Amino acid sequence: CEATCGLTLTIEDGHVTGARGDRDDVFSAGFICPKGASFGELDNDPDRLAAPLVRRNGVLTEATWDEAFAAMADGLGAAVRDHGG
């Protein structure tokens, strides 16, 4: 995870069903926090976003990653143009 703890994940039918610490990881040596231990629950959460969202005409709609990155680049470009950077 972003905290750099080494994880070993169990994947079933494309979903994380288990997470445990990787004993061979030089940083965490098998330790994981509660967040890491709950990855299976997070991956299968029905409220988890399955695709990027882009605001179009004031409404958030699903988009491809290419569309989301293009919208972000456009927005950042406008902010730099308007406010400097």
Domain boundaries, the chain: 7-43, 53-83
Q: How many CB atoms lie within 10 A of CB 41?
A: 12
* Reported pTM: 0.55
pLDDT tens digits for range 39-80: 778 777 889 888 999 999 999 999 999 999 999 999 898 888
* 8 A C-beta contact, residue 21 and residue 30: yes
